[in-house]
Amino acid sequence: MPQLIIEGHGSFVVAPGTRLVNAIEDAGVDILHRCGGFARCTTCRVSFLDGEPDQMTQAEYEKLESKGDLGSYRLSCQCLVQEDM
């Protein structure tokens, strides 16, 4: 099972395939996402210190590119936890 480490909050075991935004919330961290996981608002953006997923959805790519955040952040609503992060 993948391990999610959230800086300042601890480490948590996550079921593979869980959306990162849900894993973060399940860990008790309020991620403040507003659009319901549709890559529209960018309020769930996160940065990775390690374990960033290689793949990105088209919706995530387009939203981050339009906001000028491509390469700086990822949208946790679009990332699946498949390995340690």
Q: How far is CA 80 from CA 18, 47, 52, in A?
A: 6, 14, 10
CA 41 to chain centre: 13
Which pLDDT score, from 0 to 100, does residue 50 have? 95
User: If you ran DSSP here, which 8-state letter would residue 73 be given?
Assistant: B
48 vs 20: CA distance, rounded Å: 12
Provide mean pLDDT across the span 30-38: 86
Confidence of residue 20 (pLDDT cuts 50, 70, 90): very high
Which pLDDT score, from 0 to 100, does residue 32 have? 83
Which pLDDT score, from 0 to 100, does residue 25 have? 95
